[in-house]
C-alpha cells in the first residue's frame, strides 16, 4: 500500500515515514527541494518527491497513492503570517483538492490540525474535547481552522475519506532537555528564550543551572501536555485500520496534563539540580486536551508520561549540568 507523507522531514513526518516502512508499506515522501533534512528522508528508503505544495507538485504527489498523511505546514516559530497562509491554507487547498479528484481511489486522508484551533492555552474549559468551540487567536491556529474546513468540504462533496487529527504539542524526548521545549524545564534555556528577564540571567550567572517551576501571578504552577512523537505516530498509524474514524475529528495528545512543579521535582531528584520558582507575569497556562474520543474510536493509547520523557531525555542527551 502506497502512503504519501507530506512534511516528511519534520519530527513527526520523518518518524511516521520510518514506521510505515518498517511495517512493510511503501511511502512517497514529499519534501521541499532545499530542505536540509532531505538526506535523512532519503536514508529511510522512502521514494522522495522534491516539491512545494504548489498545484503541480500536489497533483503529482497524490497519483497512485491509497493513503495520505498531510503533515506539511509552517509552524509559528520564525514564520510570517503570509508564509503561514501560503503553506497552511493555499498549500492545503492544493493538496486536498488534488486528493478530492481521486477520492474514490483513496482509503484514508489524515489532515494534521492542532489544538491551537481552541486557542490552546486559553481554552474555555479543560479537559478540552473536540466539541470545544474553535476560536484561534494566532495566525497558525486560524490557518488550521481553514484547513479543517477545506478537508471537510472535500469529504462532504466528494466522499474524501478524511480524518482530522488535532495534534497537541509533540516532541522527541531529547527536546525537553536540548530543544524546543527545554525552556519549560531548565533555567538556562528560559534565560535564552527570555532576554527581558535579567533577574533570571543574574540568578543563572550566580548559581548555575536550575530545574524551574513556571507559575502564574497567583502562584499556581502552569499545567500542560507534551506528547512524545512515538506515541503520536502510533496513533496516526492506528487510523489505517479504523474506518469508523473517517469523517471525524479527534484530539491526539498525551494521556494527561502535568504540573510544572511536579516535573521540576522529578528532574531535581534525577539530576541533583536545585529548584527555582519562576513567576510569568500576565500569563496563565492550563492546557489539557481530552483524548477519550481517540481512545474509543481507534484505541489510541499514549504510554509516555512527562516523567518518562524526562528520563528518556536524560539518557539520550546525558547533559553535564556542572559549571
Res 10: pLDDT: 95
Q: With 80 as the cut, is the pLDDT of residue 120 above it?
A: no
Residue 22 lies in a domain: yes
Answer yes or no: do 15 and 141 share one domain. Answer: yes
Answer yes or no: do 92 and 42 share one domain. Answer: yes
Answer yes or no: do 161 and 64 share one domain. Answer: yes
Q: How many domains does the chain have?
A: 2
CB neighbours (10 Å) of residue 236? Answer: 24
- Residue listed under C-alpha cell 548559581: 207
Answer yes or no: do 150 and 108 share one domain. Answer: yes
Answer yes or no: do 155 and 179 share one domain. Answer: no
Which run of H or E residues covers position 259?
strand 258-259
Answer yes or no: do 155 and 15 share one domain. Answer: yes
- Residue listed under C-alpha cell 499545567: 223
CB neighbours (10 Å) of residue 92? Answer: 27
CA–CA separation, 191 and 201 (whole Å) = 6
Answer yes or no: do 262 and 146 share one domain. Answer: no
Structural domain boundaries enclosing 118: 2-167
Res 283: pLDDT: 85
Answer yes or no: do 74 and 204 share one domain. Answer: no
- Residue listed under C-alpha cell 521541499: 32
Residue 250 lies in a domain: no
- Kindly calculate the radius of gyration of the chain based on its CA atoms and give it in whole angstroms: 20
CA–CA separation, 300 and 126 (whole Å) = 20
Residue 27 lies in a domain: yes
pTM of the model: 0.95
| CATH code for position 14 | 3.40.50.720
pLDDT one-digit tens code per residue, 2-58: 999 999 999 999 999 999 999 999 999 999 999 999 999 999 999 999 999 999 999
Answer yes or no: do 152 and 184 share one domain. Answer: no
Domain closes at, from 120, 146, 167 = 167
Domain closes at, from 138, 167, 196 = 167
Residue 298 lies in a domain: no
pLDDT one-digit tens code per residue, 256-309: 999 999 999 999 999 999 999 999 998 888 999 999 999 999 999 999 999 999
Helix axis angle, 260-271 to 306-317, nearest 10°? 40
CB neighbours (10 Å) of residue 170? Answer: 25
DSSP string, 87-136: IIIIIHHHHHHHHHTTGGG-SEEEEEEEGGGGTGGG-SSSSB-TTSPP--
pLDDT one-digit tens code per residue, 73-111: 999 888 999 999 999 999 999 999 999 999 999 999 999
CA–CA separation, 127 and 143 (whole Å) = 23
Distances (CA, A) of 37 to 13, 20, 54, 75, 79: 11, 18, 20, 17, 18
Residue 207 lies in a domain: yes
Task: Show the CA angle centred on residue 137, arms to residues 132 and 143, nearest 5°.
Answer: 85
Residue 297 lies in a domain: no
Res 122: pLDDT: 82
| CATH code for position 265 | 3.90.25.60
Domain closes at, from 147, 167, 187 = 167
Partnered with residue 224 across adjacent β-strands are 258
Res 251: pLDDT: 98
Res 323: pLDDT: 64
Q: Which three cell numbers stand for residue 4?
A: 504519501
The whole-chain average pLDDT of the chain stands at 96
Answer yes or no: do 267 and 132 share one domain. Answer: no
CB neighbours (10 Å) of residue 123? Answer: 18
CA–CA separation, 323 and 319 (whole Å) = 12
pLDDT one-digit tens code per residue, 181-223: 999 999 999 999 999 999 999 999 999 999 999 999 999 999 9
Partnered with residue 128 across adjacent β-strands are 289
Task: Show the CA angle centred on residue 15, arms to residues 143 and 13, nearest 5°.
Answer: 25
Residue 206 lies in a domain: yes
CA–CA separation, 128 and 220 (whole Å) = 20
Residue 85 lies in a domain: yes
Which run of H or E residues covers position 5?
strand 2-6
pLDDT one-digit tens code per residue, 148-194: 999 999 999 999 999 999 999 999 999 999 999 999 999 999 999 99
Answer yes or no: do 193 and 82 share one domain. Answer: no
Answer yes or no: do 89 and 64 share one domain. Answer: yes
Amino acid at each position: 500500500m502506497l502512503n504519501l507523507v507530506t512534511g516528511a522531514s519534520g519530527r513527526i513526518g520523518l518518524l511516521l515515514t520510518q514506521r510505515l516502512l518498517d511495517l512493510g508499506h511503501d511511502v512517497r515522501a514529499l519534501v521541499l527541494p532545499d530542505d536540509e533534512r532531505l538526506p535523512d528522508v532519503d536514508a529511510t528508503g522512502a521514494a522522495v518527491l522534491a516539491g512545494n505544495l504548489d498545484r503541480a507538485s500536489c497533483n503529482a504527489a497524490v497519483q497512485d497513492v491509497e493513503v495520505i498523511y498531510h503533515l506539511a505546514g509552517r509552524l509559528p516559530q520564525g514564520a510570517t503570517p503570509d508564509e503561514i497562509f501560503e503553506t497552511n491554507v493555499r498549500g492545503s487547498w492544493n493538496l486536498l483538492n488534488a486528493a478530492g479528484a481521486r477520492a474514490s481511489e483513496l482509503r484514508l486522508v489524515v489532515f494534521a490540525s492542532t489544538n491551537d484551533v481552541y486557542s490552546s492555552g486559553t481554552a474555555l474549559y479543560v479537559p478540552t474535547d473536540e466539541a470545544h468551540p474553535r476560536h484561534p487567536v494566532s495566525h497558525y491556529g486560524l490557518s488550521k481552522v481553514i484547513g479543517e474546513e477545506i478537508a471537510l468540504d472535500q469529504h462532504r462533496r466528494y466522499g474524501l475519506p478524511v480524518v482530522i487529527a488535532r495534534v497537541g504539542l509533540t516532541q522527541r524526548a531529547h527536546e525537553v532537555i536540548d530543544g524546543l521545549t527545554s525552556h519549560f524545564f531548565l533555567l538556562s534555556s528560559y534565560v535564552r528564550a527570555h532576554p527581558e528577564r535579567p533577574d533570571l540571567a543574574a540568578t543563572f550567572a550566580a548559581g548555575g543551572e536550575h530545574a524551574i517551576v513556571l507559575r502564574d501571578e497567583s502562584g499556581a504552577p502552569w499545567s500542560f501536555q507534551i506528547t512524545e512523537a512515538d506515541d503520536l505516530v502510533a496513533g496516526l498509524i492506528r487510523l489505517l485500520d479504523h474506518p469508523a474514524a473517517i469523517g471525524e475529528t479527534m484530539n491526539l495528545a498525551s494521556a494527561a496534563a502535568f504540573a510544572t512543579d511536579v516535573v521540576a521535582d522529578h528532574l531535581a531528584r534525577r539530576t541533583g539540580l536545585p529548584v527555582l520558582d519562576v513567576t510569568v507575569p500576565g500569563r496563565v497556562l492550563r492546557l489539557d486536551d481530552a483524548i477519550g474520543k481517540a481512545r474509543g474510536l481507534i484505541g489510541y493509547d499514549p504510554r509516555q508520561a512527562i516523567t518518562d520523557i524526562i528520563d528518556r531525555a536524560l539518557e539520550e542527551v546525558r547533559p553535564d549540568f556542572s559549571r
